[in-house]
Structure 1
Amino acid sequence: MTFLVETPVTFAPERDFILEVLFGEFLGLSWRRVSNDRKDISVILGGQPGEIRLPDGLFSSQEADWLTVGSMPESPLSQWDTRDLAQDITLVDPILPVIYGDRSPVAHREGDTIRLPLDIFGSAFFMLSRYEEAVRPDRDVHDRFPATASLAYQAAFLKRPIIDEYVEILWAAMQRLWPGLERKPTKARTRVSCDVDNPFSFTGSLPRTGRRLLGDVLKRRALKLAIRNLRGNWAARRGNHDLDANWNSLDWIMDVNEEAGRSVAFYFIPEPSDPRFDRSTSLDDPRMRGLLRRIHDRGHEIGVHPGYSSYTDPSVMARSVATLRRVLGEMDIEQAQLGGRQHFLRWQTPTTARLWEDNRLDYDSTLGFAEQPGFRCGTCREYPLYDLEARCPLRLRERPLILMECSVIAERYLDLGYSDEALKMMHELRETCYLMRGNFTMLWHNSHFDNEADKKFYLSLL
């Protein structure tokens, strides 16, 4: 059976995109859209009585307001107590922020018609397309859209996969009208990744090494670590990496994930683009070739981690992808897909996605905030990206990043260190993804295992 969705005539490409994501990808349901002269949205199931009606928010914007502040959600957001629809909906909390919808949200049922106070489709498009990032000018020192500028942070739903919850609202309404309906089954999973920014601990200049040792003693108050690093540096300069924590962590990551029945995606910087931030080792280095071989032979994934300047630079991006493809080709390493993540999580909507698309990459996993973990895109599901300027869907798929270890631990971000609060936050994010039967996508750098607590935290999340 096919759902018939009646909508106003405006923004047809955007409506078709989000209907395919929500109905087709997330729920696994067949749908067809028709346009007519109406102000709201109607959803009916072919040949069956019953109708769901929803307000039309974002897509009722004037053309002149598109991609301007005039089309942004009205703040503060309304809060809807969804228990007036049903008590058994899978939600993080029954009190749900309304991105676009009624200012006094209440669900109504009259006979075979349910009216929801929430513009599910416009709100989902807003979050999944990263609409606000193309509208708001806010940027941090690395030219990244900051978490604090996001609606999710300002309206206190960054720790909620809000669009996954909206889909559950839609599904709850469908079940009440058409109880025999079945959706696509999904299973929660943990996706583990590692950005190999620094494969070796001791490749820096002597002054940089000196600063690190001073930091071990004065800042981290870890004399044993300083001594170990001093010995490791001495050995590394003679070709012995047995004491190199960064290098040894790579095999340890594979070991523990294999024990847990998981594979890991390792992302490499193929072409340095800025000497201040890209300190990678050439993939033509025999040690790196050996590492790539081990990763592949052990059943893990190799991906691209384009350098600091690549996110808006077509030539840097193209060189990065071409270099990785060349190396993999020379090593006869074949993979079903090639994806990765931007270095420093630098991302410009829609420019960066377009660069990935142009270079025939299959998926990206950049979209999480550096300074805050959570649900930047409002979902823990994989989905196709949308080009807001060209007004068309991309082949490129997004795997939203939910947790980066330093977002929680590092002093420059939340600064929770290795506290119980830090571990609790990480586990709550994982549990939320599993509640929604989504993907807990976790990034832990191989260079972030100096502290034994790192391994404890990491193992507990597997």
Structure 2
Amino acid sequence: MLLIYTHKITPRLTYTMKQVFTKILGIEIGFTTKVEDFIKHKEEKITYTKQPLQNEFFVRSHELLFEQGVNDIEINVQSWDNVPCFFFAGERSNVPFDIFAASFYLISRYEEYLPHVKDAHGRFPAKGSLAYEYKFLERPVVDIWAMKLFVLLKERFPTLVQGPRKYRFMSLIDVTTSHCYANRGFIRGTAGFLLDLGTFRIRRLVERIAVGLNIKKDPYDNFATLIEWHKKLNIKSIFFFQFANYSKYDKNVSTNSNNFKSLIKYIGDYSKVALAASYSSFNNVELLKEEKQNLEDVINRPVNFSRMRYNRVDVPETYRNLIDAEFSDDFTMGYSHQIGFRAGTCTPFQFYDIPLEVQQPIKVFPFVMHDYALREIDKKVELEKRMDAIYNEVKLVKGTFISVFSNELLGSEHKFDWKEVYYRLISKYNV
């Protein structure tokens, strides 16, 4: 066991140390504030405070893990062997930066509590993040810092062993519009027909008629293909179904449709089914609970995983609402229109509630790549280059690569053959 001496044990400190040492490095740790206990400890040990006790492994601490609430913090991003880092610790520190405070800043989403201008959907903008400003959004710096820390510790403690950690790939499929034309009902189908006719969208009109006459398959109905690919390549996948009433931003098939319910049950036989929470339920816990219950009634099993519509996360309220609705895992942490690591990590983590200063009982799985972001890349060569770069970053630290695609995009012909792009991704990045 690696013993950590510090002048004060706080919830922030224990949360961060367990994430870095236990979750990322697989090293068992303990804490003490007693000098005599630290000196007596014969195994690996470090001090995390302002001054070293003797000549032990020492990391000079920033104040962040010993504070409460949110304060305006001065951050100076510098290079640590070509890896961006901040909270410089000085020359006496065995690690040049307080990577624990820096990790907490990113994983807790500290900057999202600070004053900022939200976008049209009430989201924290990617371009307002520290990672975007200093161009490290596409690097899982928290995991990289942890690996660099281990190298330094290994030099001091040759017998120190890193726990088992394997690269993992997860594919998330958003089903917020299960069908483009089919199963829409008479009124919505007629309205769509008249809209296409009135706006002279002839190609779409012909396709709509062909689907209606069962001459052609609905373009968004690619579920059998996805299931086949996932089985063939042994892909861990989760299908997030929106199961909500029609609204301005929620336009899936009616929850009363037996065909839609049959589809969900069919997917549930081969993959994990989870809830794509509606736009309307963002600030409505009761509606969130109702959608969860209704989906559970369809598949006859608990629904514990969630994703918020348009990746809307408002810390800490969103996670408090999800906990209230009894979700255990959330997959919303990421940016819709930017590739990268919103929380600076490719390792799942428990949500830390800064106003309450407590680790909350919901696990956050950060995704790195959303199909909206990929759609904004114009050239296929550039698309593959960006995807490969992210894969290499995650693979290097043996993290978890999580992608988000929608059946809607996979059924479209926007710029590329998206089924081909997706198949390449799951084939190459699953190993």
What range describes the TM-score normalised by the shorter chain of this pair? 0.7 to 0.9
1:212 positional shift? 6.4
Match of 1:402 in 2: 368
Alignment of 1:287-326 (within 5 A): 287-298=259-270, 300-326=271-297
Instruction: Indicate yes or no: 2:2 matched with 1:3.
Output: yes
Q: Is the 8 A contact 2:5 2:34 kept in 1?
A: yes
Summarize the Cα distance change of 1:208–1:288 in structure 2 as closer, same or farther, 3 Å threshold. Answer: closer
1:7 positional shift? 2.2
Q: What SS does the aligned partner of 2:170 have?
A: strand
Instruction: Indicate yes or no: 2:226 matched with 1:253.
Output: yes
Q: Is the 8 A contact 2:265 2:298 kept in 1?
A: no
Matched residue type, 2:79 = Q
Deviations 1:58-109 (A, max 9, x none): 526765xx413x2x3424x12222xxxxxxxxxxxxx12122224xx66x6x
Structure 2: distance between partners of 1:397 and 1:60: 21
Identical columns (%): 22
Match of 1:223 in 2: none
**Corresponding pairs, count:** 407
Match of 2:352 in 1: 386
Alignment of 1:133-282 (within 5 A): 133-202=112-181, 203=184, 227=203, 229-237=204-212, 240=214, 242-247=216-221, 249-272=222-245, 275-282=247-254
Match of 1:84 in 2: none
Name which of 299, 313, 319 aligns with 1:328.
299
Name which of 54, 59, 70 aligns with 1:54.
59
Summarize the Cα distance change of 1:123–1:48 in structure 2 as closer, same or farther, 3 Å threshold. Answer: closer
Alignment of 1:346-357 (within 5 A): 346-357=312-323
Instruction: Indicate yes or no: 2:422 matched with 1:422.
Output: no
Match of 2:305 in 1: 339
Q: What SS does the aligned partner of 1:181 have?
A: coil
1:130 positional shift? 0.8
Structure 2: distance between partners of 1:79 and 1:193: 34
Matched residue type, 1:455 = K
Summarize the Cα distance change of 1:386–1:44 in structure 2 as closer, same or farther, 3 Å threshold. Answer: farther
Structure 1: distance between partners of 2:338 and 2:40: 40
Q: Is the 8 A contact 2:19 2:349 kept in 1?
A: yes
Deviations 1:272-296 (A, max 9, x none): 3x71110112344211221122212
Match of 1:97 in 2: 84
Match of 2:70 in 1: 67
Match of 2:26 in 1: 28
Unpaired stretches in structure 2, ≥5 consecutive residues: 46-54, 427-431
1:138 positional shift? 2.2
Match of 1:125 in 2: 104
Q: What SS does the aligned partner of 2:118 have?
A: coil
Structure 1: distance between partners of 2:351 and 2:150: 23
Match of 1:435 in 2: 396
Summarize the Cα distance change of 1:214–1:26 in structure 2 as closer, same or farther, 3 Å threshold. Answer: farther
1:418 positional shift? 4.8
1:20 positional shift? 1.5
Summarize the Cα distance change of 1:418–1:444 in structure 2 as closer, same or farther, 3 Å threshold. Answer: farther
1:144 positional shift? 0.5
Q: What SS does the aligned partner of 1:368 have?
A: coil
Instruction: Indicate yes or no: 2:370 matched with 1:365.
Output: no
Match of 2:419 in 1: 455
Structure 2: distance between partners of 1:151 and 1:425: 20
Structure 2: distance between partners of 1:447 and 1:148: 26
Q: What SS does the aligned partner of 2:282 have?
A: helix
Q: What SS does the aligned partner of 1:144 have?
A: coil
Summarize the Cα distance change of 1:400–1:308 in structure 2 as closer, same or farther, 3 Å threshold. Answer: same
Summarize the Cα distance change of 1:406–1:214 in structure 2 as closer, same or farther, 3 Å threshold. Answer: farther
Report the aligned-residue RMSD: 2.7
1:307 positional shift? 0.7
1:35 positional shift? 3.5
1:265 positional shift? 0.6
Q: What SS does the aligned partner of 1:457 have?
A: helix
Q: Is the 8 A contact 2:239 2:273 kept in 1?
A: yes
Summarize the Cα distance change of 1:199–1:241 in structure 2 as closer, same or farther, 3 Å threshold. Answer: farther
Structure 1: distance between partners of 2:409 and 2:237: 16
Q: What SS does the aligned partner of 2:2 have?
A: strand
Structure 2: distance between partners of 1:416 and 1:209: 31
Structure 2: distance between partners of 1:209 and 1:99: 56
Structure 1: distance between partners of 2:39 and 2:315: 31
Matched residue type, 2:229 = V
Matched residue type, 1:311 = F
Matched residue type, 1:7 = T
1:136 positional shift? 3.0
1:210 positional shift? 6.5
Q: Is the 8 A contact 1:380 1:433 kept in 2?
A: yes
Structure 2: distance between partners of 1:234 and 1:296: 30
1:168 positional shift? 0.6
Q: What SS does the aligned partner of 2:409 have?
A: coil
